[in-house]
Amino acid sequence: MMFICISAILWLFCGTISLVSSQITCDITTSDPANVTSLIQDCINNASSPSSSHTYHIRGMEGQTIMLDIPAGVSFLYLHVYGNNELIFNNPAPDIRLYNIQLNAIFGENVFTGLYELTSLDLSYSDTIDFLLNYTFPKLETLIVLYGELQTLDQKFFEKQKSLNTIDARGNPFNCDCDMSWTNHVTDNLGWTIIGTCTNGNSISNSSNYLFCNQSSFNCFTVTCSSDSVCVNTLNSSFCECVEAGYLFENDTCVDMDECSNSADNNCDQVCTNTNGSYTCSCNTGFTLNSDMSTCSGVNKLASEGILLLFLLLSFLVWQLL
């Protein structure tokens, strides 16, 4: 029995070693950004065995636009780009679970698009992570932002990441002002782990940093909205609000708002017609829609014809009397 147990442990240990040792590492040095993808593919083709773990070191360029094709099946990507270059992915990488990007670069299209399986994201040595604000990673559990120049962590990004529970932000000069008081809330009430230090020497989530902050609402950390809506915090509650104007959030989705059903919701002078997300104005017969596309002008044709008929009738009566 002991022999079987020891054999099983050795098998697991060796299996782990095998996964690590099968990583494909590509060191690319070129001055032509158009060559990067083909050089990476050559490196992959020459690897001794296939692997889902790739590391790319890309050197030799400054101020260029680098367009990459990420091979299918890559789950662990370590990307190190040297030089102030713009990085664009030609294809989303939905299989990636661990993403490690350490570079001085501008992030272009698709770099963070479609990462539905992403569980860990490493953006260490970054001056800012504001570029993440428009992204939601449904399975992201760990964010690593070591030794950068971050002074704050924007609540709007973090409250959208419903699986996130760990932030390692050591080595950044955080101000720890009231905008970061949410860090104390999520560590005390939601069980998050946040590692990092403020410029005053306290840990980021230490409640003493925020003693004089006005009470804030953090309900959006526990509220999930649909993909076409965003969560809005108020002092004592929160609600989902549709991104596009002209829609209302009802029954967990955005539905068209009928602006014509209430005169307070439209500025039509005479006739209102509801459309998806909006409405149009028109005029009654005999009137013309003005350039403001809401008010009408002109004399009613029927009314003017009635006045003319009355005038003719009166003229005939006067002529008879004479």
**Portion of the chain with pLDDT greater than 90, in percent:** 42
Q: Do 73 and 107 belong together in one domain?
A: yes
Which range in 118-132, 168-182, 292-306 is most confidently predicted, on average pLDDT? 168-182
**How buried is 215 (Cβ within 10 angstroms: 0-12 exposed, 13-18 middle, 19+ buried)?**
exposed
pTM: 0.72
Q: Which domain holds residue 85?
A: 22-214
Of 62 and 296, the structure prediction assigns the larger pLDDT to 296
d(CA 111, CA 63): 17
Q: Is the dihedral of CA 138, 140, 145, 150 positive or negative?
A: positive
Structure tokens at 305: 């014809």
Q: Do 234 and 122 belong together in one domain?
A: no
SS3 assignment, position 316: helix
Give the single-character DSSP code of 1.
Answer: -
pLDDT band at 313 (very low <50, low <70, confident <90, very high): confident
Residues 6+ apart with CB under 8 A from 40: 26, 28, 56, 68
Residue 176 forms part of a structural domain: yes
Q: Do 140 and 188 belong together in one domain?
A: yes
Residue 320 forms part of a structural domain: no
pLDDT in the model for residue 186: 94
pLDDT at 21 over 80: no
Residue 321 forms part of a structural domain: no
The string of pLDDT tens digits covering residues 24-50 is: 999 999 999 889 989 999 999 998 888
- Given 161, 180, 214, the domain boundary residue is 214
Identify the CATH number of the domain in which residue 261 sits. 2.10.25.10
pLDDT in the model for residue 4: 39
pLDDT at 17 over 50: no
User: Does residue 178 contact residue 151 with C-beta atoms inside 8 Å?
Assistant: no
Q: Do 207 and 274 belong together in one domain?
A: no
Structure tokens at 19: 């996964």
Residue 308 forms part of a structural domain: no
pLDDT in the model for residue 39: 92
Give mean pLDDT, residues 145-172: 94
Q: How many CA atoms lie within 13 A of 261 on its CB side?
A: 5
Residue 17 forms part of a structural domain: no
3-state secondary structure 238-297: EEEEECCCCEEEECCEEEECCHHHCHHHCCCCCEEEEECCEEEEECCCCCEECCCCCCEE
142 membership: H or E segment, kind and range: strand 142-144
Residue 9 forms part of a structural domain: no
Tally of domains within the chain: 2
pLDDT at 309 over 80: no
Residues 6+ apart with CB under 8 A from 42: none
- Within 10 A of 114 (CB to CB), how many other CB atoms are there? 14
pLDDT band at 19 (very low <50, low <70, confident <90, very high): very low
pLDDT at 146 over 50: yes
Q: Do 38 and 157 belong together in one domain?
A: yes
- Given 214, 244, 278, the domain boundary residue is 214
